[in-house]
Structures are given as C-alpha cells and as structure tokens.
Structure 1
Amino acid sequence: MPNHLFSFTTRRIPFSLRRFLSQSIPHDPYDPPFSPTSKPQSKNNKKQKQNHNSNCDSNLPLKSNLPFNFVYSYSETNPSIKPISFRESPKFSPFGPNRLDRKWTGTSAPVHNEPDQKTIEADRNRILGAPLNDEEVADLVERYRHNDCNRQINLGKDGVTHNTLDSIHNHWKKAEAVRIKCLGVPTLDMDNVCFHLEEKSGGKIIYRKLNILLLYRGRHYDPKKRPIIPLMLWKPYAPIYPKLVKNVIDGLTYEETKELRNKGLESQPLMKLSRNGVYVNVVERVREGLKIEEVVRLDCSHVGTSDCKRIGVKLRDLVPCVPILFKDEQIIIWRGNLNQEQHKDL
C-alpha cells in the first residue's frame, strides 16, 4: 500500500479504536495482554511479617485487668441459672488456645482475684470527670443522635456482647460519644442494657429514647490507656439449661394445663411482634393484659423459635408471669396462681 494511502486511513480511524486494536493484538502469543504481572516480594517485607508474627506471639497469653468475668453476652445471660450440660467441651475457649490467661469454664472466663469495688468506682469517676452541663449534653446529642451518624453500634438479639466493648473503645478513639441502636429481644429490658454498657465500658449514658442510646466516654478518657480487651474468635455454643416449659405446670393438673393452653390458642392475640422489632412497651402491655385475662397470647410470627423462648424468659422475670406454651411462634402466658392483692401490684 502506498504511504500516502496508509497515512490517510490512519487519520480516518478514531484514536480510541486504534488504541483498542493495538492492545488487542499481542506481540507474544504466550503473553496475552492485560495479564497481571506478579511482583516479586522483597526480603524486607518477609522480615517485617516474621517480626510482626513473633511480636504477636510474644504477647500471648493476653492479660486483661478488666474486673469482671468474660462471657459472650452480658445482658442476655443470667449467671444464677446453672446449665445442666454442655454442647461442647469447656476446654475449647472462644478466645483461642493459649491466648488468654483466664480459664474458660464453658460459660465464662472468671477473673483471678476479687476486684476492689471502691478502687474501680474511683477510677471510673476520675475518667468521667465533672458531670456535663445541659449545653454540653445538648451539643453531644445533636452531633450523635441522628440516623446518619457514623459512630453507631447495633445491638441485636445477643445484646451487649464481649466484643461490643472493643467496638465501643474503637469509636471512642475519635469520638466523645457513640450511638447505640438496640433491636430485638434486648429492648424488652433497656434498663439492663444500660446497666451493663456503663458497668463494662466505664462510660455514661447521656441520652436515651426508646431503643436509641448515647454512651459518653468521659472528660479525661485517654485512648492510649484503653483497657486490654481480648476478642472472642467465635461464638461459643450455648449450654443446655433446664426446660423452660414443663408438661404439667406447677400447681395445676394435666387437664387444667391443657385447658389453659387451648384457651390461650383460641384467644385473640394481645399484640403482634415483628422480627428485630422494638419491644420497649411489651412488658407493660402484658401486665395490663393479665389484669383482665387469665391467659394472653403473643403472636410472634416470623420472629423465630429461639427469639420466642428468649422473649418468654424475659417476660417471666419482668412481668412476672408463667409461660405455658410455645407453639408455631405463638407465646401463651398465664398470670399464675395469684391472689387478688398480688395481682393488683402487677
């Protein structure tokens, strides 16, 4: 082809098309285009990784001065109820083998020495400093209470877990307060959630509205002196506890128990609970319902069997009442053998 014709055709071809054609034709059939080139790893990087691993191993086992027993969930477990069996051997610690200087008992990692409560309270008050005035509280609330806040922790059905404490301190590195949004079973008892958040983290709840909390770190909080919180590497299997609902309820005969259960199933539901909903008013509603009816039913469709049992346990302790049946995600609750004066105190 003459040179003048070749130059004419190349001018007519757009630049983007010429670039594509030039890259789509490989110079070497054994080296196709766009293939990633492997970069050789330098010896310095290998040495740095080896030194980092050796430093991590040298710090094991971790020693934490936190003055309480380590459990998976602080707000959703009751240490007074002892398990009757375990689904896995207590030797399998969720902190990993030989990574913590505490022994895992199957439900907790107990503290070695009994802590001094006066010293703990003094240290906490020193970090919190003087109480915030109204203007300071209003400023923090305005900054952190909104839905678009990027300093937020979500609490689900497991409540205040051990690893939640590490997340709180990570947020406290760059923020004075952290927004905590609670959903599901823990919202039945928000007082319990607030208690464990303050006790285990050392912070202060400065705002509470339904299921939204603001946890303040304190005036003299130093991120460089944050406590050592060893993380749980996996969720431990829940142990086996005594049966929540018996075949025959205490104080009743078999026929009376069967009659109450059928009565509850045939009654209209007192309220319907949604999955991962906000249950802050459920306890009060159940109390009011049991003042009128002997048996009430809660419709927990799509909530889940495990959550239904968690809800039943909390209602039993908070109302108080007697769960007599869990069937098809329906909770049947009996007010129990209460005389008239006890019932008025509910």
Structure 2
Amino acid sequence: MAIHFRTRIRFPDRSNQKPSGYFFFISRFISKSLSESTYDPPFSPVSKLQKAKKKKKAHGGNSNSNENPTLPLKSYLPFDFFYSYSETNPLVNPIGYRESPKFSPFGPGRLDRKWTGTSAPSAVEVNINEVLEERKRILGDPLSDEEVAELVEQYRHSDCSRQINLGKGGVTHNMLDDIHNHWKRAEAVRIKCLGVPTLDMENICFHLEDKSGGKIIYRYINILLLYRGRNYDPKNRPAIPLMLWKPYAPIYPKLVKNVADGLSFDETKEMRSRGLNSPPLMKLTRNGVYVNVVDRVREAFKFEEVVRLDCTHVGSSDCKQIGVKLRDLVPCVPILFKDEQIILWRGKKDHEEDMNS
C-alpha cells in the first residue's frame, strides 16, 4: 500500500511591505513627468529682497542711522570719575596696572575724559561756590519733622520697591545713575549697605551726598534714606555716562611687611604666633554688617596687644580690604593674613604709652 504525502508551499505575504527602491524611483519619476513645471519644490523659498527693502524704508535709506552723533558724551559733573568713590583712596598711587590704562571702561571714544587707569579726571575747572549754591537751590528749604517722618515711614521698610543694595564695591559710579532713575518717580531712595563698606558708614554717607547731590534724612545701622530735594527736576538731571565693565584693580604696595615697623624679625614672628593662638575677638560673616567692628577693636587694644579676627568664609580679598580699613580707622598694624584670619597689632607707640602710664 503506497502512502502519498502532500506538501504545501507558502510564499511570504508582501502586501504590507514597503515598495522596493526600484518601484519607489519609478513612481517618483512618473509624478515629476506629469507635473506642469520642471521645478516644483514642496516649499517655495522666500526672497530676501523684500526684507531688505523694508529695512531700507524703516531707516529712511540712511546707512549711518545706527551711529550716535552725540559721541563722545560730555558730562559736567564737578568731580573725577572712579569705579568706586568710597573704596578708592586717590592719595595712594598704584605701582602697576593689570590692564593697560588706554582701555577705558566707558568704551572707546564714548567719553570726553581720558582714563588714567584708576580715574577719569575732569578737564574743566570747577567753581565750588557755584556747585554749592546749585545744590542748595535743588534741596530747597529743610524738611520739617512731620515731612521727614512721613518719608521715613514710606521708604524705611524692607518691602520698599525703591531700594538699592550697596555691596563690597561701595558707592560705585553706575550707582549714581540708579539713584537718579529712582528719583524720577520717588522722593527718596532706600539704600541697604552690606559688606566691607559698612566699617565706615560716615564715608558712605559723605560720598552719597557729595556725588548725588541729595541728603541723608534717615540712618539706622546699615539702612539709609537719600532724599532728592524739593526742587529736583528729573528732566534736568545730570548726564552720567555709564561704565560698560568693571576695570581691573591696580596693583598697590604690599600691605603686610615681612618685619613690622618698630619690631625685629623675632618679635614680629612672636607677635604672629601669639595672635594665631589667641581666641578670636569677633567672627565676621560674608557680606555682613561690620558697623561695630572698629569700636570693638579699639576697646580690645586697651587690654590686649594683639587681636585676631576670624573671617572664615569671608574671602581673601575681603579680608585684605577689612585690614586696610581697620589700619586707617583704628589705627593699627596688620601683621598677618593667614587662613582667613586677620592678626592686628596695636603698634609700638601705644604700647610704650601704656607701659609708661
């Protein structure tokens, strides 16, 4: 008996597969041949000629419309321009520069004053009497106690929108423009001072009044209110050219000498070791309020010869600025900056006077 087997051959179903490259090429060729034009892209390119014509019409056909004809700017402010007025001592001459003085932070050809590396001195002689008379005219009659109390109540709170933060840069040049911008819509400006400049608040108040022409009507610790004056006219505000960048700080003489004046090498070394091993007088924080530091150091020098200030997390640059200010305000002699610690010595003369008394 013969057994027959039937085999069924199944061919793969190609109905759902995409056409091969050959059929795709043929179909695309036929569709192109049936089109009316030989070039029919999916999106027609937009010509740039129309945009160029619109720009020319907007500018009136002048190619020099972007140029400012008022350059260089002329400012008749009666003082020399510094980056920081409160933190720069014009009596101390730098020994070098980190950038060439020919690069003015006001921009090339934008100011009629020449940049010397630290300042832009005024080329016009200033008549001090005329300046003082003009400021008195703008300030007008003194404010009464009721008017001062009303302004203080309006601007002294922390949620005041007319506030300027004064940091370690102190009273900077561009801050003057910010003050006048606030004075357009407000009679006074709230200034919150933080950092190194708070060591000498008198210096801050002096430069704010001297450079802006206003008057401090309220002062509480590190909060100031600067009044613009009764006859202040925002339309006749002074022209203040802005600094486009912060200039590099020049190089000044070394702050700490290897051997302090009045001491030998061994005595200086002993003073430094005593200061590092002594307990800190105060611990300063970064961008803190240092209003009472000078008085605390003066009182400590009545009983101690060396004082240490703990400036952890303050920063090395701020530590040196604090040491410079304390040297002039206390006065004292900084003998060491190490690991964000400031060691201050009260000086030889004070020590001898205490011993004789």
Pair in the same fold by TM > 0.5: yes
- Aligned with 2:348 (options 325, 337, 342): 337
1:88-99 maps to which residues of 2 (within 5 A)? Answer: 88-99=99-110
1:103-114 maps to which residues of 2 (within 5 A)? Answer: 103-114=114-125
Report how far residue 164 of structure 1 moved. Answer: 0.3
Partner of residue 328, structure 2: 317
* Compared CA separation, residues 174 and 325, structure 1 to 2 (3 A): same
* Compared CA separation, residues 253 and 340, structure 1 to 2 (3 A): closer
1:128-277 maps to which residues of 2 (within 5 A)? Answer: 128-277=139-288
Matched residue type, 2:151: L
Give unpaired runs (5+ residues) of structure 1.
Answer: 1-29, 32-39
In 2, the alpha carbon distance for the partners of 1:52 and 1:188 equals 53
Report how far residue 323 of structure 1 moved. Answer: 0.4
Secondary structure (helix, strand or coil) at the match of 1:214 reads strand
Partner of residue 20, structure 2: none
Secondary structure (helix, strand or coil) at the match of 2:244 reads coil
- Residues 305, 351 of structure 2: 8 Å contact kept: no
Matched residue type, 1:104: W
In 1, the alpha carbon distance for the partners of 2:281 and 2:354 equals 18
Tell me how large the CA RMSD over aligned residues is. 2.2
> Once the two structures are superposed, what CA deviation does each residue of 1:128-180 show, in whole Å capped at 9, x if it has no partner?
00000000000000000000000000000000000000000000000000000
Secondary structure (helix, strand or coil) at the match of 1:291 reads coil
Secondary structure (helix, strand or coil) at the match of 1:208 reads strand
Secondary structure (helix, strand or coil) at the match of 1:197 reads helix
Structure that is richer in helix per residue: 1
Aligned length: 308
Report how far residue 43 of structure 1 moved. Answer: 2.5
> Once the two structures are superposed, what CA deviation does each residue of 1:252-292 show, in whole Å capped at 9, x if it has no partner?
11100000000000000000000000000000000001111
In 1, the alpha carbon distance for the partners of 2:151 and 2:130 equals 29
2:65 is the counterpart of 1:60:
no
In 1, the alpha carbon distance for the partners of 2:65 and 2:182 equals 28
Report how far residue 114 of structure 1 moved. Answer: 2.4
- Residues 59, 65 of structure 2: 8 Å contact kept: no
Secondary structure (helix, strand or coil) at the match of 2:343 reads strand
* Compared CA separation, residues 339 and 318, structure 1 to 2 (3 A): closer
* Compared CA separation, residues 46 and 261, structure 1 to 2 (3 A): farther
1:121-132 maps to which residues of 2 (within 5 A)? Answer: 121-132=132-143
> Once the two structures are superposed, what CA deviation does each residue of 1:103-131 show, in whole Å capped at 9, x if it has no partner?
00000000012211100000000000000
Matched residue type, 1:71: F
2:308 is the counterpart of 1:297:
yes
Give unpaired runs (5+ residues) of structure 2.
Answer: 1-41, 44-50
TM, length-normalised to structure 2: 0.82
- Residues 72, 110 of structure 2: 8 Å contact kept: yes
* Compared CA separation, residues 296 and 340, structure 1 to 2 (3 A): closer
2:130 is the counterpart of 1:119:
yes
- Residues 171, 208 of structure 2: 8 Å contact kept: yes
> Which of the two has higher C-alpha Rg?
2
Matched residue type, 2:145: D
